[in-house]
């Protein structure tokens, strides 16, 4: 009997494995319930945790009123893909919102809270109930779209000017409403499969009701707009954290570790972008900049060690798993701000010498307080003034690579106007016009420097809207406003960076306390060292902010803030390693003593 070629081809295709597994049609919807025998764990656990695992399995599987859901012990590729959308939205926001003042820090915290909380709620569902089906993939596509919506909203997100432009918050309302509705639909599918288990109904129904209520709140905010960021804080109450719904075994700890790694990677990207910007703009790297880069890289490495190498996670119970999970919000925020702070210090230590040099050059025009104009007594003519200003601009240009300064800042018009002033040289009319030109140039050059290094841009409100040069009063107001803005950027960085680093240490102390079931004396010493080091770092702004410009100026305007944080982290790790060795030697000594007694 002859077989048709098309039939043979079809059989070959159907029998051909893809990646070692025979491909089967994707179901439209799949049950999250487990098919394993009661009391038998679906995974291999670490030695010492076997009895606990089997006890949990028996508790979940033997009762007819309690469902047993499938347990996964590694993230799927689509979940890792979802994490990339999270970090993309976060990176977009941090790029467009530099940490310039307390308001920008608040915006960072609130936006991170919204994004992180949305990620957490989706992840809790995925690790507990997700199955590979068409329904799940469609819902995952909606989750991807939610984070793209966050990217769109992030560009206009500003809680300090909510009355000026509501578009960002309206977009957030729509995005958050869609995300909660999608989760409610997914939990409803779980409820349908779990309906015959009485203990699962109430938690799932309450969860669905909370999601629908929150979605309705966001939808209602579109009509009569309120500040959605306040509502987002209450999202933590949406999920009734019960043993049945929340418990997901070791996968929650694994996913939190992966997200920690991703957030640390996002901070590394910010730092590398800052360093790349310095390389592309600066003509010469100072030893201080090179030292700061080395300290920052070591600091990032120490953060990895403190979280991944020093904290050993055992199987967590219901309460400790909840503490472990939600504690990662301040931990992740602290990691993000710590790495961002090191990047901001890197930019600041590069920009500060340029600003100081420019102010020193322009100080030659300083006059006494009674004179409303700049002083030109050191110059014999307008040509001498023009020549000095041109030479000063050449000095600033030497800080930049190639002709970047000359190409980016055009001083030709200002220099020509100084030479073409109609009034006689050094008379009051001449000094008034020259003062306006030089003050405008002074602020413009400073603004150009900060813009080139992506430290932000000040929108001066006192500048005239006409084509005429601003008045001297406006120029002085702009100059003072710009000086305050520069000081505010530096003070903000000096405050949030050590506080974030100290908060990370204290969060790691609580994580260490939560992760260890049996705490030895060495564990308590490690916890105490983290709390002490974190407290000391948080107190640095109190010692430095009040003394800015006086005794501590040499400390806060150098690489020492980053170096100090790095040394504190290093001291904590060295102490942990020493304690581990002491504990190992004590155990070995006791083991030898028992061997001797037995012999």
pLDDT at 244: 40
**Concatenated DSSP letters of 298-344:** HHHHHHHIIIIIT-------HHHHHHHHHTHHHHHHHHHHHHHHHHH
Residues with Cβ < 8 Å from 452, sequence gap 6 or more? 281, 400, 404, 408
Query: Using an 8 Å Cβ cutoff, are 357 and 396 in contact?
Result: yes
Query: Mean pLDDT over all residues of the chain?
Result: 76
Q: What three-state secondary structure class fits 69?
A: strand
Instruction: Dig out the tokens for 499 from the structure.
Output: 């506080």
Provide the b/e sequence for 369-392 (b: ≥16 CB within 10 Å): eeeebbebeebeebeebbebbeeb
The residue to which tokens 């579109």 are assigned: 222
Q: Is the pLDDT confidence value at 453 over 90?
A: no
pLDDT at 554: 57
Q: Is the pLDDT confidence value at 105 over 70?
A: yes
* Per-state percent for the chain, helix, strand, coil, to nearest 5: 70, 0, 25
Q: What are φ and ψ of residue 282, in 5° steps?
A: -85, 140
Query: Using an 8 Å Cβ cutoff, are 383 and 374 in contact?
Result: no
Reported pTM = 0.79
Q: 239-255 pLDDT, tens per residue?
A: 333 334 444 455 677 78
Minimal CA–CA distance to 173: which of 116, 114, 119? 114
User: What is the C-alpha radius of gyration for the chain, rounded to an integer number of angstroms?
Assistant: 31
Query: Using an 8 Å Cβ cutoff, are 509 and 531 in contact?
Result: yes
Query: Using an 8 Å Cβ cutoff, are 495 and 540 in contact?
Result: no
- Please give the residue that has the higher pLDDT: either 475 or 177: 177
Q: Is the pLDDT confidence value at 299 over 70?
A: yes
Residues with Cβ < 8 Å from 314, sequence gap 6 or more? 49, 515, 516, 517
Q: In a 10 Å sphere around its CB, with 0-12 CB exposed, 13-18 middle and 19+ buried, how is residue 214 labelled?
A: buried
pLDDT at 337: 92
Instruction: Dig out the tokens for 227 from the structure.
Output: 């500040």
Q: 182-230 pLDDT, tens per residue?
A: 889 888 888 888 777 777 778 888 888 888 888 888 887 776 555 444 4
Interatomic CA distance for residues 41 and 338, integer angstroms: 41
Q: 379-409 pLDDT, tens per residue?
A: 888 889 889 999 999 998 888 888 888 888 8
DSSP 461: S
Minimal CA–CA distance to 220: which of 176, 154, 186? 176
- Mean pLDDT lowest for which of 20-29, 226-235, 363-372, 424-433? 226-235
Q: 329-370 pLDDT, tens per residue?
A: 999 999 999 999 898 888 888 888 888 888 888 888 887 666
Q: Is the pLDDT confidence value at 39 over 60?
A: no
Q: 527-581 pLDDT, tens per residue?
A: 899 999 999 999 888 776 554 444 455 566 667 888 999 999 999 999 988 888 8
């Amino acid at each position: 009997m002859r077989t048709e070629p098309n039939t043979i081809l079809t059989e070959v295709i159907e029998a051909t494995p893809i990646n070692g597994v025979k491909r089967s049609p994707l179901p439209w919807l799949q049950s999250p319930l487990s098919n394993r025998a009661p009391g038998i764990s679906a995974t291999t656990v670490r030695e010492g945790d076997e009895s606990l695992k089997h006890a949990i399995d028996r508790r979940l599987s033997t009762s007819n009123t309690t469902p047993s859901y499938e347990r996964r012990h590694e993230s799927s590729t689509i979940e890792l893909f979802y994490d990339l959308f999270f970090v993309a939205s976060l990176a977009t926001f941090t790029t467009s919102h530099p940490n310039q003042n307390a308001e920008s820090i608040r915006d960072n915290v609130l936006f991170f809270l919204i994004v992180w909380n949305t990620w957490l709620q989706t992840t809790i569902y995925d690790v507990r109930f997700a199955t590979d089906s068409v329904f799940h993939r469609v819902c995952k596509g909606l989750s991807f779209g939610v984070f793209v919506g966050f990217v769109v909203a992030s560009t206009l997100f500003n809680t300090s000017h909510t009355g000026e432009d509501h578009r960002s918050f309206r977009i957030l309302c729509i995005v958050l409403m869609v995300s909660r509705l999608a989760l409610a639909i997914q939990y409803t599918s779980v409820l349908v499969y779990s309906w015959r288990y009485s203990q699962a109904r109430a938690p799932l129904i309450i969860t669905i009701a909370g999601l629908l209520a929150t979605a309705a709140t966001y939808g209602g905010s579109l009509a009569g707009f309120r500040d959605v960021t306040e509502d987002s804080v209450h999202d933590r109450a949406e999920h009734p954290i019960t043993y049945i719904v929340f418990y997901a075994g070791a996968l929650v700890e694994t996913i939190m570790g992966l997200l920690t790694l991703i957030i640390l990677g996002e901070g590394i990207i910010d730092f590398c972008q800052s360093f790349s910007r310095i390389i592309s703009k600066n003509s010469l790297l100072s030893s201080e900049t090179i030292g700061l880069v080395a300290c920052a890289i070591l600091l990032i490495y120490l953060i990895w060690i403190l979280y991944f190498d020093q904290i050993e996670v055992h199987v967590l119970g219901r309460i400790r798993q909840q503490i472990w999970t939600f504690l990662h919000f301040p931990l992740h925020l602290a990691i993000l701000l710590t790495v961002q702070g090191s990047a901001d210090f890197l930019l600041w230590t590069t920009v500060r010498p340029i600003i100081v040099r420019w102010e020193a050059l322009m100080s030659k025009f300083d006059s006494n307080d009674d004179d409303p104009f700049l002083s030109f007594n050191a110059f014999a003519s307008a040509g001498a003034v023009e020549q000095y200003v041109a030479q000063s601009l050449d000095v600033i240009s030497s800080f930049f690579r190639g002709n970047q300064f000359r190409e980016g800042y055009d001083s030709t018009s200002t220099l020509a106007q100084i030479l073409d002033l109609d009034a006689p040289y050094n008379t009051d009319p001449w000094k008034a016009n020259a003062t306006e030109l030089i003050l405008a140039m002074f602020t413009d050059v400073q603004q150009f420097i900060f813009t080139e290094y992506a430290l932000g841009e000040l929108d001066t409100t006192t500048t005239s809207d006409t084509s005429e040069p601003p008045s001297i009063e406006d120029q002085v107001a702009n100059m003072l406003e710009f000086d305050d803005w520069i000081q505010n950027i530096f003070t903000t960085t000096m405050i949030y960076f050590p506080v974030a680093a100290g908060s990370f240490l204290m969060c790691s102390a609580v994580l260490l306390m939560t992760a260890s079931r049996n705490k030895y004396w060495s564990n308590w010493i490690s916890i105490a060292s983290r709390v002490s080091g974190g407290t000391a770092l948080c107190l640095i702004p109190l010692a430095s902010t009040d003394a800015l410009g006086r005794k501590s100026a040499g400390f806060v305007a150098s690489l020492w803030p980053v170096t100090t944080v790095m040394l504190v982290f290093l001291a904590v790790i060295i102490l942990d390693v020493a304690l581990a060795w002491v504990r190992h030697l004590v155990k070995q000594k006791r083991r030898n003593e028992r061997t001797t007694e037995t012999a």
